[in-house]
């Protein structure tokens, strides 16, 4: 039987919180862009992060731990900054793309920290985290390309 440590639970809850924040952030971005393509992309990303959250919650519960329930105050502040930036920016689409890239880079780093931590992860947890990270990485490349087109 795998010994699921409190440290692993804390790390996964940290990622869960970041996914709550990212979901809300993408919803904010979708509301602030003018492009239908970007609105659709950001809505898809919000749904993806919601799904990631559900997968993390299920994984945390499968090892008898309790998942966190909400986002962070840092995430709330970042969304307020996104709204302000969109309001004052001459190109809200580009501003939201920049914020999306910044957020995705941070997410990739956070996932890598947990994947590469000294804590031994169960194979199921490792697989989930790598799938999430790879999806985020692929979309970061897409978002960067969209930013270059702008």
Q: What is the pLDDT of residues 88-121, one digit of tens each?
A: 455 678 888 988 898 999 999 999 999 998 878 8
The pLDDT of residue 86 is 46
* Alpha carbons 128 and 130: distance in angstroms, whole number: 6
Hey, is 32 helix, strand or coil? helix
pLDDT at 70 (0 to 100): 63
Rg (CA), the chain: 16
pTM of the model: 0.84
Q: Which residues of 7-35 are buried (b: 16+ CB within 10 A; e: fewer)?
A: ebbebbbbbbbbbbbbbbbbbbbbebbee
Question: Structure tokens of 89?
Answer: 């920016």
CB 23 within 8 A of CB 44: no
User: Across residues 34-46, what is the average pLDDT?
Assistant: 95
pLDDT confidence of residue 90: 53
Q: What is the pLDDT of residues 47-71, one digit of tens each?
A: 999 999 999 999 999 988 889 876 5
Per-residue pLDDT tens over the stretch 71-95: 555 555 544 545 544 444 556 788 8
CB 41 within 8 A of CB 146: yes
């Amino acid at each position: 039987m795998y010994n699921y440590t409190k440290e692993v639970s804390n790390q996964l809850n940290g990622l869960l919180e970041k996914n709550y924040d990212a979901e809300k952030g993408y919803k904010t971005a979708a509301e602030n862009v003018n492009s239908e393509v970007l609105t659709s992309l950001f809505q898809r990303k919000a749904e993806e992060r919601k799904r990631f959250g559900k997968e993390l919650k299920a994984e945390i519960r499968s090892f008898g731990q309790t998942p966190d329930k909400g986002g962070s105050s840092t995430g709330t502040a970042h969304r307020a900054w996104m709204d302000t930036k969109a309001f004052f920016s001459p190109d809200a689409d580009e501003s939201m793309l920049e914020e999306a890239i910044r957020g995705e880079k941070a997410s990739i780093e956070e996932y890598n920290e947990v994947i590469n931590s000294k804590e031994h992860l169960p194979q199921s947890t490792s697989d989930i985290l790598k799938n999430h990270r790879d999806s985020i990485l692929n979309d970061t490349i897409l978002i960067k390309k969209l930013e270059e087109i702008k």
